[in-house]
Amino acid sequence: MNYDDLDRMYRQGLGMCRKGMVNEAATIFRKIIASGSQEPQHLSYHGLLSATVNGQKREGLRLCERAMRFDPSSPDVALNLARLYELNGRNLKAVETLRRGLRASPGHPRMLKQINRLSPRKRPPLSMVHRNNPINKQLAIMMARITGRYGKEEDSSRSPNRQLRPAKTRA
């Protein structure tokens, strides 16, 4: 298959995904990969659809991780990998992937929406003071220490998806 045919099929598959015709899209992406394509976007969408439509989560995750190694700056590749991490209950890994993707594509609306859904910010302790105020920051750290959430690694089976980190100290 030549490049133009692959590109046409890719756009057709994306259109089907957007319309909710995921079974048909999965068939198209399977054909694209079977033709020998190693394009990161092709691998990524094939992996996402393999996991969601066919239930092949491991294979889908493997393909999306491979696509991310080939093209870490692609927003679609980062989003698809994050979706699969979330599907596998690895929400912290999904948030890390989205943050990496946002470094490559700052302000990307779909990535911002996804990361805000996965790790919403908590309200600041003092609402009348801006959240970046040092008083609010220190109060939040103190509250986290009291509740035992400060500096601990999160277990992916727990529902809160935000990891608290200690403040940076000067050397």
Which residue intervals of the chain are DSSP H helices? 3-19, 22-34, 40-53, 57-70, 75-87, 91-104, 109-118, 134-147
For residue 165, is pLDDT > 80?
no
The pLDDT tens digits for 18-74 are: 999 999 999 999 999 999 999 999 999 999 999 999 899 999 999 999 999 999 999
Q: Which tops the pLDDT comparison, 87 or 169?
A: 87
| Mean pLDDT along residues 119-145 | 85
Residue-level pLDDT at 154: 44
Determine the Cα–Cα distance for residues 48 and 131; give it in Å rounded to an integer.
37
Determine the Cα–Cα distance for residues 125 and 165; give it in Å rounded to an integer.
17
Amino acid at 112: L
pTM over 0.75: no
The pLDDT tens digits for 91-103 are: 989 999 999 999 9
Query: In this prediction, what percent of the chain has a pLDDT beyond 90?
Result: 56
| Mean pLDDT along residues 135-148 | 86
Q: Over the chain, what is the mean pLDDT? A: 85
Q: Which domains does the chain have, with CATH numbers?
A: 3-118 (1.25.40.10), 121-171 (no CATH)
